[in-house]
Structure 1
Amino acid sequence: MAKVSRGRKVDTWKTKKWYKILAPPQFDYKPVGETIASDPSLVIGRTIETTLGDIDGDMSKQHIKLKFKVIDVAGENANTEFIGHDMTRDYIRSLIRRRTSKVDVNVLVSTKDGRVLRVKASAFTIKRANTSQIKAIRKIMEDIILKRSKELTFDDFIYEILSGKLSSLLYREAKVVYPLRRVEVRRTEIKSVKVEA
């Protein structure tokens, strides 16, 4: 019986190449990781998660997780775009106290330059708020988030979120209704590049 020649086995690892993943321009192209692939086209679309603390060296921001997606490859560098952020569950859990209220907001917004994203924020009260107070706080937060998104470009809006400026604005305006301990914009999800007419 004849044997089928399988030929020489190729070590697939030898055909693969390492690519350095870079953060987007608004994060100064900082290296955020590496990935390996046999072809540059296979790198496009991959996602990576890091923390704001790792990018800017401020360890007090380790609870803020950033998500990037590779959009193109230039030589050994894989360039990315920002696709959202999140806060760790442990951090959010640490803000919740007994006999207090947590007011959640979930808003779909579009920025001045047409980027669409979902923004989720939470306000934490000092004591338990009643239903009408919770509704009033939620309305104020929704209105401010919608207004600021329309006034700012995508990059500026994301900067305002990650720097804590938007959270501070929400806190100042909403605490008039009922005393608040903290407000956090805890999550963003990029939905599309531009708004359909």
Structure 2
Amino acid sequence: MAVGKNKRISKSKKGGKKKTVDPFTKKDWYDIKAPSVFSVRNVGKTLVSRTQGTKIASEGLKHRVFEVSLADLQSDEDQAYRKIRLRAEDVQGRNVLTNFWGMDFTTDKLRSLVKKWQTLIEAHVDVKTTDNYMLRLFCIGFTKRRPNQVKRTCYAQASQIRQIRRKMVEIMANQASTCDLKELVSKFIPEVIGKEIEKATSSIFPLQNVFIRKVKILKAPKFDLGKLMEVIARGKAMFFVQPLCGLGLLSFKHLILLLRSMGTTARRTLV
């Protein structure tokens, strides 16, 4: 008689099913804090695996990029077409401190701007801010009919397009190279640069819907905690420092070093 498998014999527990562990039990929630240039500071929350051995949780959060609508950052639905990118620069307690890392337009906004009977003019320029951020700014604009014009179309000539593009590059370079990143971001929100381009090019050809449609950060300076805290401090950042000292995460010695590395404005705000 051949010896075969007896199906009635129950299998040992060795090959049984493993218990499914919920992966969220090993993760923690962190609060994302936006720079002080925006009116809403609490952007949202992000998940990261807890510190285990050599794998530190804060290291997994650093340089993480978050995309947020400007409508949420400014509590203004009219700004919903702008997408702001924020990069995590430092982690303090359960707070992730972020800095500006780029801007873009939503696809539906860009598509709505392009129409018949007008000329689309685009320009881009690489520029360095006073705090050594290398940016690439992209500008877009459209021609419009002159006052009392009967003709339906408003096409610009090639020579006029070249002149307008030259003006766009010149204004973008002047506006960005004379200020730091924080001041430049504050110019994007009310579209200061776009309005200046419209005014400067009105003698060449009248323009409408002139926007800085995209901003890319090509190169960032070496991370400086003092500078980041100065940006945060302008928006009353003491709520970051106090909990850290209380929990023992920031010693008195480190706090003194941090205050020394800050600017005068930041120290006054903290005090």
Which TM-score applies when normalising by structure 1? 0.90
What residue in structure 1 maps to residue 185 of structure 2?
A: 158
Q: How does 1:25-104 map to 2 (within 5 A)?
A: 25-27=36-38, 30-38=41-49, 39-104=57-122
C-alpha offsets along residues 117-150 of structure 1, whole Å, 9 cap, x if unaligned?
0000011101111100100000001011111112
Matched with 1:167 is 194
Any stretches of 5+ residues in structure 1 without a counterpart? none
Q: Does the CA contact (< 8 Å) of 2:171 and 2:197 recur in 1?
A: yes
Distance in structure 2 (CA, Å) of the matches to 1:45 and 1:29: 21
Shift, 1:57, TM fit = 0.9
Amino acid at match of 1:59: E
Q: Is the 8 A contact 2:40 2:73 kept in 1?
A: no
Preserved CA contact (<8 Å) 2:40 2:75: no
Query: 1:11 deviation in Å?
Result: 4.3
Distance 2:19 2:177 in 1: 61
- 1:25 to partner: Cα distance: 2.8
- 2:18 and 2:165 map into 1 onto residues whose CA distance is 67
* Greater relative CO (CA pairs within 8 A, separation 6+): 1
User: Distance between the aligned counterparts of 1:29 and 1:191, measured in 2?
Assistant: 26
Pairing partner for 2:215 from 173, 184, 188: 188
RMSD of equivalent CA atoms:
2.3
State the match for 1:125 in structure 2.
Answer: 143
Structure 1 residues 122 and 9, CA gap change in structure 2 (3 angstroms): closer
Q: Which runs of 4+ in 1 moved over 4 A?
A: 6-11
Identity of aligned residues (%): 28
Residue 14 of structure 1: aligned partner: 25
- How far does the alpha carbon of each residue in 1:1-28 deviate from its partner, in whole angstroms, 9 at most, with x for none? 9x59x99875432121011111123225
Aligned residues: 195
TM-score (norm 2): 0.66
Alpha carbons of structure 1 residues 12 and 101: separation in structure 2 relative to 1, 3 Å: same
More strand as a share of residues = 1
Counterpart Cα distance in 2 of 1:148 and 1:40:
36
Give a deviation string over 1:27-79, Cα, whole Å, max 9, x none.
25711121111123212221111111111111100001100111111111111
CA 1:144–1:63: 2 relative to 1, 3 Å? same
> In the alignment, which of 20, 24, 46 is matched to residue 35 of structure 2?
24
Q: AA paired with 2:92?
A: A
Using the TM superposition, name which of 59-68 and 106-115 deviates more. Answer: 106-115
